[in-house]
Structure 1
Amino acid sequence: MAHTEIDIDKVAKLARLDLTDEEKQTYSAQLGQVLEHMEKLNALDLDDVEPTAHSFPLSNVLDEDVDEPGFTPEEALRNAPAQRENQVVVPKVVE
Structure 2
Amino acid sequence: MALTKEEVLKIAKLSKLEFKEEEIEKFQVELNDILKYIDILDEVDTQNIEPLTYVNHDVNNFREKEKLDSISLEKALLNAPESAENAIVVPKVVGE
Larger Rg: 2
How many residues are paired up? 93
TM-score, length-scaled by structure 1: 0.74
Matched letter for residue 94 of structure 1 = G
Gaps of 5+ in 1: none
Alpha-carbon distance in 2 for matches of 1:76, 1:31: 55
CA contact (8 A) 2:77 2:83 kept: yes
> CA-to-partner distance for each residue in 1:33-59, whole Å, 9 max, x for gaps?
111111111111111000104444234
Which letter does structure 2 place at the counterpart of 1:5?
Answer: L
Aligned residue for 1:8?
Answer: 8
1:10 and 1:58 map into 2 onto residues whose CA distance is: 45
Quickly say closer, same or farther: Cα 1:66–1:35, change in 2 above 3 A.
same
CA RMSD across the alignment: 2.3
Cα deviation for residue 11 of structure 1 reads: 1.6
Tell which deviates more after alignment, 34-43 or 58-67.
Answer: 58-67
Amino acid at match of 1:37: Y
Instruction: Report how far residue 62 of structure 1 moved.
Output: 1.2
Greater percentage in helix: 2
Task: Return closer, same or farther for 1:83/1:21 CA change in 2, 3 Å cut-off.
Answer: farther
Overall identity of the aligned pairs, in %: 31
Distance 1:23 1:70, change over 3 A: farther
Partner of 2:69: 69
Q: Which runs of 5+ in 2 are unaligned?
A: none
**Residue pairs, 1:42-57, within 5 angstroms:** 42-57=42-57
Deviations 1:46-83 (A, max 9, x none): 11000104444234421112221123223434444432
After TM superposition, the score normalised by the length of structure 2 is 0.73
1:5 CA displacement: 1.7
